[in-house]
Amino acid sequence: MGRDRATLADVARRAGLSKTAASMVLNGREGTRLSAEAHQRVFAAAEELGYRPNVAARSLRTRKTATIAFVSDIVATTRFAGGLIRGALDASRERDHVLLITETQGDAAFEQYAIEAILDRQVDGVIYAAMATRRLAVPPAILGGPVVLLNATSPEQLPCVLPDDERAGAMVAETLLAQGHRDRIALIGRNRQKERDPEISLAAEARLRGIRDTLTAAGVSLCAEVFSPEWLSEHGYAAMRTLLDRPTRPSAVICMNDRLAFGAYQALGEAGLTIPGDISVLSFDDDPIAGWLRPGLSTAALPHEQMGRRAVEILLDGEGKGPWLVPMPLRRRRSVAAPAD
C-alpha cells in the first residue's frame, strides 16, 4: 500500500534546498524569510514528484492526526446510524479530517478495547454517539481530549448535539390544531420506562412535553393516551385497535414514532377506515417507510445528517458548550386533514 512515495527529503533535494525549507514552504509558515523563488522551486518539486506527506511521521511529531474517532454504541441495528455517519463524514472531509469508526455494542469490554484502539492512534477528538437519544456515561479515558456527544447527554455536561424533540412535539400539535382538531386527539406510544429513564430515551418525554404544552396553551388536552411497552409496529397496531374500541373515535392520532404509526395504519386499514378522511395520523422520525405508506405519513424528521455534521463542526471548530438542538423538520405528506365532522 503506497510504497515508493516521495518524501520531503526528495522534494528538498529536487528543489535544491533543505528539508527545513521545504517543510516550511509546504506548510505555508508565516514569518519565514524564504525567497519567492525558493517557494516556487519547492512547490514545483512537490508537484513533479506527486509528494504527499506521511501522516504517521507528521503526527509523531505534532501529535495531530487529522483523524476523528466516531464511537457509537450500535451502528448496524438502526438505520439512523447511516445518517449520523454520513453527516460526520461530510463535515470531516470539508475540514480535511478522516473518520475512525468503532462500536461498543454497549459492552464494557468492547468499549474498553475501542477506547484503547483510538487512543493508541492519537485521534484528535472523539464523537461519542448513541443510537437512541439518551443520557450515558462517558468513559473517563477519553475525557483527556475533545469530546462531543452525539444524540446523547452526560452528567459531565460535555458539549452535545441532540434533536429538538420538544419543538417537534409542538409542531406536530400545532399542525393538528391548525387543521381544526381539538378534543379528539389521541396519542400512541407513551411508555413508562422510556419516558422516565433518561438512560434509555430522552425523546419520549421531550416530544410529549412539546405536544402537551402546545395543546394546553390552546385550551385542549389529549383525549386518550395508549401506552406501549416498546415502539414496534405490532404495538402500534394493538394500540390503534384499543383506541377504535372506545365509544368516541379520535379525529387524529399522534404516534411517538413511525413504526407505531405503521402498525396504526394496518389497524385502520383492517377496520376499513381511511387516512386522513376518517382519522389523521402524525408521527416522528421520518423512517423511509413513511414515504412508502399510502397515504404518505406526515412526520417530524430526525435530522441525523445535520446532527452528525454539527458534531464534527463543534468538535473541530470548538464553539462553547451547547447543548445544541438541531431542528426536526416536519415532512408534510398526506396523512393529515381537517376532522370529518
Nearer to a second copy, 28 or 144 (CB): 144
In contact, 337 and 277? CB cutoff 8 Å: yes
Q: Is position 13 an interface residue for DNA (rule: CB under 7 A)?
A: no
Size, binding site for DNA by CB under 7 A: 29
Query: What is the footprint of DNA within residues 297-316 (CB under 7 A)?
Result: none
Cell readout for 71 is 464511537
CA atoms of 76 and 147, how far apart (whole Å): 22
Nearer to a second copy, 111 or 166 (CB): 111
Q: Is position 123 an interface residue for a second copy (rule: CB under 8 A)?
A: yes
CA atoms of 185 and 153, how far apart (whole Å): 31
Stretch that binds DNA, among 20-28, 166-174, 226-234, 286-294 (CB under 7 A): 20-28
Smallest distance from DNA to CB 27, Å = 5
Residues counted in the chain: 341
> How far does Cα 115 stand from its chain's mean position?
21
Query: What is the footprint of a second copy within residues 72-111 (CB under 8 A)?
Result: 75-79, 81-83, 85-87, 89, 93, 98-103, 110
Nearer to a second copy, 55 or 178 (CB): 55
Instruction: Please state the three-class secondary structure of 292-328 as a single string.
Output: HCCCCCEEEECCHHHHHHHHHHHHHHCCCCCCEEECC
Q: Where are the alpha helices (DSSP H) in 190-232?
A: 192-196, 203-217
Nearer to a second copy, 89 or 185 (CB): 89
- Contacts with DNA, residue ranges (CB under 7 A): 5, 7-9, 16-21, 23-24, 26-27, 32-35, 37-38, 51-54, 57-58, 60-62
